[in-house]
Structure 1
Amino acid sequence: MKAKTIIGGIFSIIVLGMSFQAFAQSKATPGIAMTQVVQAARIKQGENSGELTRREARKLRRKQQKVQRMKWKAKEDGRVTAKERKKIRKAQKKNSRRIYRKKHNGAIK
């Protein structure tokens, strides 16, 4: 009976550790993830309202995908360094400016 309790305790610790690690990795870049979601919504809204042409929206989405790949690459080793985070945030800010400019350039769908 005691062996089962010990094995159960070890198993619980392993499962808990794995779930914590997964949680930590998913929460490593919450600000970056939220910015990606907001920018995708801005692109979709611009396309729906006619502020963005289909071509403009497609190009902006490609830029968003590039940032997402940067994020995935940064997370490959399980940790996002300050330098990687800064590089990703810089790319996001650049994309934000692109979205704004394209939405306000007066082009009609």
Structure 2
Amino acid sequence: MNKTYFAFAAIIAAIAVPASAEAQQRVDNRQDRQAERIDRGVEAGRLTARETARLDAQQRRIERFETRNRADGNGLNRVERVRLENRQDRASRQIFRQNRDRQRPNR
């Protein structure tokens, strides 16, 4: 009984670690892509300085949220992951809108 239980626990642990690492990579990749979208908007002249500052601040808040929730060493639980993804979704929509709102920086 105990051998079976420990074997099962070891298998679950082996599966959980790569899944957590994969989730971390997915979050990091999305943050990187959003930062690139902001940079491209600045380079193309589609974002004002104020819009850029707000979007950058939003990205920093998301990163702080992630860091705080991962600080316990166990990664993100389901609720934290959903909240993080919702914040990233909101940021993505803001980046999209700000890049297309026809406000242009003064040159």
TM-score normalised to structure 1 length: 0.74
CA–CA separation in structure 1 for the residues paired with 2:82 and 2:24: 11
Whose Rg is larger? 1
Give structure 1 stretches of 5+ with no counterpart. Answer: 1-22
Superposed, which structure 2 residues align to 1:52-67 within 5 Å?
A: 52-67=47-62
Name the CA distance, whole Å, in 1 between partners of 2:36 and 2:53: 13
Runs of 4+, deviation exceeding 2 Å = none
Correspondent of 1:100 among 96, 100, 104:
96
Question: What displacement does 1:55 show?
Answer: 1.1
Q: Quick one: which amino acid aligns to residue 89 of structure 1?
A: E
CA RMSD of aligned residues (A): 1.6
Residue 87 of structure 1 deviates from its aligned partner by: 0.3
Alpha-carbon distance in structure 2 between the residues aligned to 1:55 and 1:46: 13
Counterpart of 2:66 in structure 1 is 71
Alpha-carbon shift at residue 108 of structure 1 (Å)? 1.2
Amino acid aligned to 1:73: R
Out of 14, 35, 38, the residue aligned to residue 30 of structure 2 is: 35
Question: Which residue number corresponds to residue 47 of structure 1?
Answer: 42
Corresponding residue SS for 1:29: helix
| Identity of matched residues, % | 29
Equivalent residues, number: 86
| AA partner of residue 106 (structure 1) | R
Scaled by the length of structure 2, the TM-score of the pair is 0.75
Secondary structure of 2:73's counterpart equals coil
